[in-house]
Structure 1
Amino acid sequence: MWTSYSARHAAQLIGLAESAVRSCIRDGLVGTPGTVPAQLSFRDLSALRTVKALVDAGVPLPRVRKELLAIQALLPAGTSLAELTVEARNGSVHVRGSIPTSNGGAGQLALPFDATIEAGPEGALGELRELPRSPEAPVPVAVAPATADQWLSRAQLLEERDPVAAIDAYRRSLRLRPDCTEAWINLGRLFAESNDGDAARDCFKSALELDPAEATAYYNLGVLAQDAGKEGDAIELYRRALELDPQLAEAHYNLATLFDQSGDSRSAIRHINEYRKLTR
């Protein structure tokens, strides 16, 4: 009987993309962040089944991760998400029953029955990366968007609530402004998260045609290659991404997992150390 599971083995057992499992590990939802190779327990598999059930119920993976992180922050040390009864309702994550919280002391506080957990702090939207958004105020979205920027703003607002509508909005934005790298990358990320790898790949390649120095597009293509079992292609794509953006911590982490799987422990250690430096 298995006593520990790799990210790949866990992904196969649960039915999640390997990249989704890796992102849950990096978040600290399961396993030990920053450790390669990942060693997942049976309890971790149960937590990943919760993730899978929420995604299957229609909650987008980025929202699942954010809300589960918010829940986890309330739990006492050593308590696993696998110990909770979690369900999806109206596109959000709900906890059924009451749970002890980490700040309750001897008379621990408990979340009320069927409490909705609001999304936690902003974080990476899944394994795939989006371009950093402008700190400027978003363009106001009209009732009926007319410009590329208005459709882009609407798409960004819809991503977590309605990914299908967000995809449509990104497409409308790109019809009006096909040279928008940000829209291509975000559209590709949504396609990848909906398991349409071919459409995602086309979007990332379109972004690179517009900007051959776009590290995020190379990184996201690497994620697709790694999920498809094309380890050699993934390594080259991650390396190219790091040439363009040496601060891209996720690429170091994924390279560490790939080199560990291939038995190149020296390279794996080098990349996991770089990952730890960048994420301190």
Structure 2
Amino acid sequence: MWTSYSARHAAQLIGLPESAVRSCIRDGLVGTPGAVPAQLSFRDLSALRTVKALVDAGLPLPRVRKELARIQQHLPSGTSLAELTVEARGGQVHIRGTHSEVALAGQLALPFDIVPAKATLPPGELRELPRAEPPAPVAAPPATADQWIQRAMQLEERDPVAAIDAYRRSLKLHPECTEAWINLGRLFAESGDATAAHDCFRSALDLDPADATAYYNLGVIAQDAGKEADAIALYRRALELDPHLAEAHYNLATLFDQSGDSRAAIRHINEYRKLTR
């Protein structure tokens, strides 16, 4: 008999926030993208343990998802992330295939920069502000708010702690920068400090009450905290401001499915699929 697990049940079993599991489903790392309700297998749970192992090693969740998605693209057909043994060693993540048909020569070493593990697990994926292109390297020590933001963006993946400090320095010089507040809040959330993240997103909304990204990210925090009604209201407000915010539709579909409102769940998952075709 085949047993399936919901995103919430899987999150509880593995020790990841539910939103992190939802993000992995959307990325195609586990389950079926766009399926509501999510039905995860025991094999999917093993793949999620791989995600958690990297998070426990101190790697930012967004980078873990991005790198695992890249690895998955190069795996032979029928091979799962669940069949890979992962360990962080010497500033790198080493992945060894355990399946006899995995066409990986020896070990695949990925150049991750390890940061100290946090006392609490980071929440799931929050929404980033659109970026036209990576900022140019800053040669001299930052002196202006914009330069500190550029430095922070360069540091986000390899040194989130230093990136947080850089965003704080930018905001000290220019506290009216909504982008800096949102990026800082996202980093706080990913480090497990939901309270600081909440305050940053609220500061962004004080400056720009029509910022859909801030409302969406507040919704993620509320959903991870089990405040479903608050999360629904925040996601709805985000969609009023930005109807093309696909992630909000997906999360609403999940929440409505859990509450038994199948009609609303179907409506939002259909909108999600339209936007992600």
The alignment's TM-score, normalised by the length of structure 2, stands at 0.91
CA distance in 1, matches of 2:211, 2:89: 37
Separation in structure 1 between the aligned mates of residue 147 and residue 243 of structure 2, nearest angstrom: 33
Find the counterpart in structure 2 of residue 62 from structure 1. Answer: 62
Identity of aligned residues (%): 82
Q: Is the 8 A contact 2:148 2:167 kept in 1?
A: yes
C-alpha separation between the residues in 2 aligned to 1:80 and 1:109? Answer: 10
1:170-200, Cα deviation, whole Å (9 max, x unpaired): 1111111111111111111111111100000
Query: Match of 1:254, SS?
Result: helix
| 1:191/1:200 contact within 8 Å kept | yes
1:127 lines up with 2:125 in the alignment: yes
The one-letter code of the counterpart of 2:190 is E
Map of 1:77-156 to 2, 5 A cutoff?
77-96=77-96, 110-117=103-110, 127-135=125-133, 138-156=135-153
* Corresponding residue of 1:51: 51
CA 1:82–1:140: 2 relative to 1, 3 Å:
closer
- Aligned residue for 2:32, secondary structure, equals coil
1:95 offset after TM fit, Å?
1.2
- Counterpart Cα distance in 1 of 2:62 and 2:91: 12
Separation in structure 2 between the aligned mates of residue 80 and residue 178 of structure 1, nearest angstrom: 46
Aligned mate of 1:234, from 213, 216, 231: 231
Which letter maps to 1:132? Answer: P
**How far apart, CA to CA, are the structure 1 residues paired with 2:175 and 2:127?**
20
SS in 1 for 2:248: helix
Give the Cα–Cα distance (whole angstroms) in 1 for the partners of residues 221 and 238 of structure 2.
14
TM score, norm. by length of structure 1: 0.90
Map of 1:122 onto structure 2: none
* Distance (whole Å) between structure 1 residues aligned to residue 39 and residue 268 of structure 2: 18
Go from structure 1 to structure 2 and tell me whether the alpha carbon gap of 1:55 and 1:85 turns closer, same or farther (over 3 Å shift).
Answer: same
Distance 1:205 1:249 in 2: 22
CA pair 28-45 structure 1, distance change in 2 beyond 3 A: same
Indicate if the aligned counterparts of 1:155 and 1:170 stay in contact, CA closer than 8 A: yes
Q: Deviations over 1:235-268 (max 9, x none)?
A: 0000000000000000000000000000000000
**Unaligned stretches of 5+ residues in structure 1:** 101-107, 120-125
Cα distance in 2 for residues equivalent to 1:57 and 1:109: 25
In 2, Cα distance between the equivalents of 1:110 and 1:5? Answer: 30
Kindly provide the amino acid, as one letter, of the partner of residue 235 in structure 1.
I
Runs of 4+ aligned residues of structure 1 deviating over 4 Å after TM superposition are 97-100
In the comparison of the two structures, how many residue pairs are matched? Answer: 267
Is residue 169 of structure 1 aligned with residue 159 of structure 2? Answer: no
1:237-256 paired onto structure 2 within 5 Å = 237-256=234-253
Counterpart position of 2:197: 200
Q: Cα deviation per residue 1:26-77 (whole Å; 9 max; x = unaligned)? A: 0000000000000111111111111001111111111111110111001122
C-alpha distance in 2 between matches for 1:164 and 1:90: 20
Alignment partner, residue 210 of structure 2: 213
Deviation at 1:13, TM superposition (A): 1.0
Residues 227/164 of structure 1: CA separation in 2 closer, same or farther (3 Å cut): same
Distance in 2 between residues matched to 1:2 and 1:192, nearest whole Å: 35
Q: Give the Å deviation of 1:112.
A: 2.8
